[in-house]
């Protein structure tokens, strides 16, 4: 029997109520030159500043007007320092976790949006790791403002940022079991510390028809 979502959605396995949304899967291959906009210049500048470019960057993807550099995790800190010092991407706007259970060997992704105040440019870095080895080097030594963002991504997705100065939970209690934004995490029905209130499972919530 399929579960019924909180707004009456049925049959999709999505109990969030948004099962009617259809998204086209993005291509996993590299984009071809020319990338357009300032993206070619960024790629060229990075190749000149970082001779190990071809060994560190798995692929370059331009999609929906954004440039994403898919970086091998062991090269993340090196690439980050080059981007900060040579290409003037002075700010990392945080790190977001993503969980793709069907992407075997690359189930967990960390996405870093970068901003160059000097050149008014934005790009993204992305690192993919297996669920069984969810370790990524911390970039706090490069962008100190990522401290709490890495803690949140650890808390919500279970990605372990090696070298972080104090990698502890930041939203959930220290003894909380699991990581709430992973796809295999139970939806609803988990006791929370609200006085006089409970959170029912999705299929017991009100349905709006």
Tell me the domain boundaries of the chain. 39-184
Alpha-carbon gap, residue 50 to 16, rounded angstroms: 44
What count of Cα atoms within 13 Å lies in the side-chain half-sphere of residue 140?
14
> pLDDT for 50-85, tens place per residue?
999 999 999 999 999 999 999 999 999 999 999 999
Q: What is the mean pLDDT of the chain?
A: 86
* pLDDT band at residue 2 under the 50/70/90 scheme: very low
- Residues 156 and 97: beta-carbon distance below 8 Å: yes
Q: How far is CA 125 from CA 5, 19, 71, 106, 110, in A?
A: 34, 29, 7, 15, 8
In this predicted model, what pLDDT tens digit does every residue of 26-48 receive, in sequence order?
Answer: 556 899 999 999 999 999 999 99
Task: Note the residue count of the chain.
Answer: 209
Digit-coded pLDDT (tens) for 160-195: 999 999 999 999 988 888 999 999 887 765 555 556
pLDDT for 185: 86
pTM as predicted: 0.80
Q: Is the dihedral of CA 15, 18, 24, 27 positive or negative?
A: negative
Class for the domain spanning 39-184 = alpha beta
CA distance readout (Å), 57 to 27, 165, 175: 17, 26, 37
CA distances from 197 to 14, 36, 194, 200, 205 (A): 25, 53, 6, 10, 14
Six-digit token pair at 18? 């948004």
Q: Which of 12, 63, 33, 3 is nearest to 203 (CA)?
A: 3
Give per-residue pLDDT as tens, 94-132: 999 999 999 999 999 999 999 999 999 999 999 999 999
């Amino acid at each position: 029997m399929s579960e019924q979502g909180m707004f009456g959605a049925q049959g999709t396995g999505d109990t969030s109520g948004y099962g009617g949304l259809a998204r086209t899967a993005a291509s996993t291959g590299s984009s071809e030159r020319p990338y357009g906009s300032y993206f070619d210049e960024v790629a060229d500048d990075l190749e000149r500043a970082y001779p190990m470019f071809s060994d560190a960057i798995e692929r370059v993807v331009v999609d929906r007007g954004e440039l994403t550099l898919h970086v091998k995790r062991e090269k993340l800190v090196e690439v980050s320092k080059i981007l900060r010092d040579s290409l003037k991407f002075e700010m990392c706007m945080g790190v977001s976790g993503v969980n793709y259970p069907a992407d075997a060997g690359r189930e967990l992704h960390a996405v870093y949006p970068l901003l160059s105040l000097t050149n008014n440019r934005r790009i993204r870095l992305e690192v993919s790791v297996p669920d069984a080895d969810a370790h990524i080097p911390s970039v706090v030594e490069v962008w100190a403002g990522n401290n709490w963002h890495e803690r949140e991504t650890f808390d919500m997705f279970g990605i372990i940022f090696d070298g972080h100065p104090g990698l502890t939970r930041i939203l959930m209690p220290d003894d909380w079991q699991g990581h709430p934004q992973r796809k295999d995490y139970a939806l609803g029905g988990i006791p929370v510390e609200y006085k006089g209130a409970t959170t029912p499972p999705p299929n017991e919530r009100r349905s709006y028809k």
